[in-house]
Amino acid sequence: MFHHPLPPDAELRILEVRHAEELYELCDANRQRLAPYLPWIDSTWSQADTREFIEQGLQQFASGQGFHCGIWRQDQIAGSVGMHKIDWLNHSVAIGYWIAKEFEGRGLVTRAAAALTNHCLRDLGLHRVEIRCATTNVASQRVAERLGFRREGTLRGAQKVRDGWLDMVVFSKLAAE
């Protein structure tokens, strides 16, 4: 299905049911570092949960509301980047991402999120792409900044995670930028 090269050594592939086992293993191995920022990890306890997530993503894709990709590096799954449901009324979408510990800090997420943002703004014709990061998540904010997203402001107590509520910095990029 859909795949997008991330030269020189990685690629994005749309997540399919056959990827459930390796994706779940990666999520499980990174549980402790994902939990502070990604609430879905606390409802992901088996391959079946991951398969359900992938199936929902494929339905989302089939209905034209965006999709979720795995990030593969040299044929090993390293993380994920994806779209929340597209708001077609406003031609707007929010994207999210994560990467496993052993692949962190190599610019993989920056390249993956750049490819997805370009796809949204150029190929899908969206007007606005948004990234929300916790105020404490400096690495994620750096990704948004490196992609040329503009910092708009902070939503207080906007995301519930295991240890409480996160203040979220909103970044956006418009098609004209």
Ligand X SMILES: CC(C)(COP(=O)(O)OP(=O)(O)OC[C@H]1O[C@@H](n2cnc3c(N)ncnc32)[C@H](O)[C@@H]1OP(=O)(O)O)[C@@H](O)C(=O)NCCC(=O)NCCS
Window of 65-73, 122-130, 134-142, 155-163 that interacts with ligand X by CB under 6 A: 134-142
Residue corresponding to tokens 């030269």: 7
CA-nearest of 9, 170, 132 to 75 is 9
Confirm or reject binding of residue 8 to ligand X (CB under 6 A): no
Confirm or reject binding of residue 84 to ligand X (CB under 6 A): no
Confirm or reject binding of residue 37 to ligand X (CB under 6 A): yes
Strands 68-73 and 76-83: antiparallel
Q: Nearer Cβ to ligand X, position 89 or 113?
A: 113
Window of 12-20, 117-125, 137-145, 148-156 that interacts with ligand X by CB under 6 A: 137-145
Confirm or reject binding of residue 137 to ligand X (CB under 6 A): yes
Residue 63: other Cβ atoms inside 10 A: 10
Task: Find out whether 92 and 81 touch, Cβ atoms under 8 Å.
Answer: no
Q: Exactly one of 6, 12, 27, 34 binds ligand X (CB under 6 A); which one?
A: 34
| Total site size for ligand X, rule CB under 6 A | 23
Confirm or reject binding of residue 86 to ligand X (CB under 6 A): no
Task: Find out whether 136 and 168 touch, Cβ atoms under 8 Å.
Answer: no
Q: In whole angstroms, how close is the CB of 100 to ligand X at the nearest point?
A: 8
Confirm or reject binding of residue 22 to ligand X (CB under 6 A): no
> For every residue of 50-110, which 3-state class applies, written as one string?
HHHHHHHHHHHHHCCCCCEEEEEECCEEEEEEEECCCECCCCEEEEEEEECHHHCCCCHHH
Interacting residue ranges for ligand X, rule: CB under 6 A: 33-34, 37-38, 96-99, 104-110, 133, 137-140, 142-143, 146
